[in-house]
Amino acid sequence: MGSFSALHWIIVVLVVVLLFGGGRISGLMGDVAKGIKSFKKGLADDEDEAASSAKPAQRLEQARPAASEQSAARDEQKLNS
């Protein structure tokens, strides 16, 4: 009851072709194909840029001494004031 038969789908396709014409449908499908190709190319370009500009992660051990030096400087300032 809820599904369409093959005859219904044939009628729908015929109505669409009559309304839009074969040329407009093929042009529309060509535009869709160009959009998909452009989207895939954009994704590939983004991946290439991300791979080439990726920097190695900085080790936390290297960042900690700078933070401890800053806290030590603040502690000295507090003691001196």
pLDDT in tens, 4-34: 899 999 999 899 888 888 788 888 889 999 9
Residue 74 lies in a domain: no
Percent pLDDT > 90 in the chain is 25
16 vs 2: CA distance, rounded Å: 22
> pLDDT confidence of 77, banded at 50, 70, 90?
confident
Residue 42 lies in a domain: yes
Q: By residue range, what is the domain housing residue 7?
A: 1-52
Q: Are residues 25 and 17 in contact, defined by beta-carbon separation less than 8 angstroms?
A: yes
- The pTM score is 0.42
Residue 5 lies in a domain: yes
- Which carries the bigger pLDDT value, residue 13 or residue 65? 13
